[in-house]
Structure 1
Amino acid sequence: MSDPERTTGPAPARRPRFGASGQASRQALRSGLLDAMREHLRHSDWSAVTMTDIAAAAGVSRQTVYNEFGSRQGLATAYALRLIDEFCAAVDTAVEDNVGRIRDALGEAHRAFFALAAADPLVQSLLSGRAKPDLLRLITTDAAPLILHATGTLADTLHRSWIGAPYDEARRVASSIGRMALSYIAMPPEDDSDVADHLARLFEPVIASVARSAA
């Protein structure tokens, strides 16, 4: 779907090289813009949101938003990547809180993710109102960046935690977990608890197998 404001935005300015403090400032800017997008989506449908809207909500220029994300689709992708980060953080926390209990860890993580997705305004916008093919592509045919990001982060948890899976095996399992979780965004479960338990039972023997192979 094209930007309702304009088909193409201004050409992104060349980004300077950042030092440590500059990287922190840029990350703060990026987080602030994504926060502004989240708040704006609480009362506006994604189909009507423009880069100017996000700039105004964040108190910056429209050019700043274009410089950071490149396009409206780039903004949506960055937002979705942060949602994936929140899922991965839930997995990491659940694993650390359930040492030796793989099923409990996976169940807690997926319940947290389903609650997170259900409350997220971009996900709500995807599932309500008129069809939004750009958002649907983001989690289906164009989902490779999200899957790769989830795979790397989840593999790190499976590898460095008490599970101790060899990294190659951890990536294989992590890819499946990430793909499965992503599939539930477009078709959320009717009973979060039952589905979370089902997924935990499904992945438990797989993770137990790779964990044993590290012993």
Structure 2
Amino acid sequence: MPSAREALLIAAQTALADQPWATVRMVEVAAAAGVSRQTLYNEFRTKEGLGAALVDRQIDGLVTGAADAVTAARRLGGDPAACCAAAAVWMLDRAREEPLLRAALTGFWDSRLPLPEHRPEQVVARLCATTMDALCGTREAELRRACEVGLRLALSYVVVPPADPAAPAGVAAVVAALLRGTPAGTPVD
């Protein structure tokens, strides 16, 4: 059973899927979570606090998922290039599904969403650092730069989403080629 905080965040996420943030009411979020309104205010203080926590939760999920994608790719024998490509694809897939993440990564917020406490460059820096840390703590400057360039390339697909649903696979190939120092047309594992 989720904690009261987690239940409130789930209820807020559900409400946000159905209506703009400006029309989400705290009393309805509390009721949907099965807690009192006082509990909600004790946890988040304000609606803005709830919104910021909701954005943070989504960012945490993105970063953790990218690290998990790297770990899974490593378990399958992937080299650092394949691992970074896996993180890029994870980011693309999540951002396509989740408006809060798209906004957090791009800085393009609309009235349907709560405002974040972090700037996009902070989110991307955290994503890059976590991806590199998942590569067994590798701190090689060249690999770090290549991984960041690859993730930023993938981020361009978040800013202007392609119509082709197979685009993440193409991005993965280019990211892996970048990190391996091979031509982009070369087949990638």
TM-score bucket (shorter structure): 0.5 to 0.7
Residue 69 of structure 2 is aligned to residue 97 of structure 1 = no
Q: Which of 74, 77, 85 is the matching residue for 2:52?
A: 74
Alignment of 1:29-108 (within 5 A): 29-60=4-35, 61-67=39-45, 71-85=49-63, 86-100=65-79, 102-103=81-82
TM-score, normalised to structure 2's length? 0.62
Residue 119 of structure 2 is aligned to residue 142 of structure 1 = yes
Partner of 1:22: none
- Distance, in Å, in 2 between the alignment partners of 1:170 and 1:32 is 40
Aligned-pair identity in percent equals 22
1:189 counterpart SS class: coil
Pick closer, same or farther for the CA change 1:77–1:42 going to 2, 3 Å: closer
TM-score, normalised to structure 1's length? 0.57
Partner of 1:208: 180
Q: Which of 131, 151, 156 is the matching residue for 1:154?
A: 131
RMSD: 4.1
| Gaps in structure 2 of 5+ consecutive residues | 182-189
What residue identity is the alignment partner of 1:97? Answer: L
8 Å CA contact retained: 2:146, 2:178: yes
- Distance, in Å, in 2 between the alignment partners of 1:136 and 1:144 is 18
How big is the shift at 1:121? 6.3
8 Å CA contact retained: 2:8, 2:40: no
- Distance, in Å, in 1 between the alignment partners of 2:152 and 2:138 is 19
Pick closer, same or farther for the CA change 1:31–1:69 going to 2, 3 Å: farther
Pick closer, same or farther for the CA change 1:125–1:99 going to 2, 3 Å: closer
How big is the shift at 1:113? 4.2
- Distance, in Å, in 1 between the alignment partners of 2:159 and 2:133 is 26
How big is the shift at 1:167? 4.4
- Distance, in Å, in 1 between the alignment partners of 2:94 and 2:139 is 30
- Distance, in Å, in 1 between the alignment partners of 2:147 and 2:52 is 24
- Distance, in Å, in 1 between the alignment partners of 2:178 and 2:103 is 34
How many positions carry a matched residue from both structures?
172
- Distance, in Å, in 1 between the alignment partners of 2:47 and 2:68 is 23
- Distance, in Å, in 2 between the alignment partners of 1:137 and 1:184 is 22
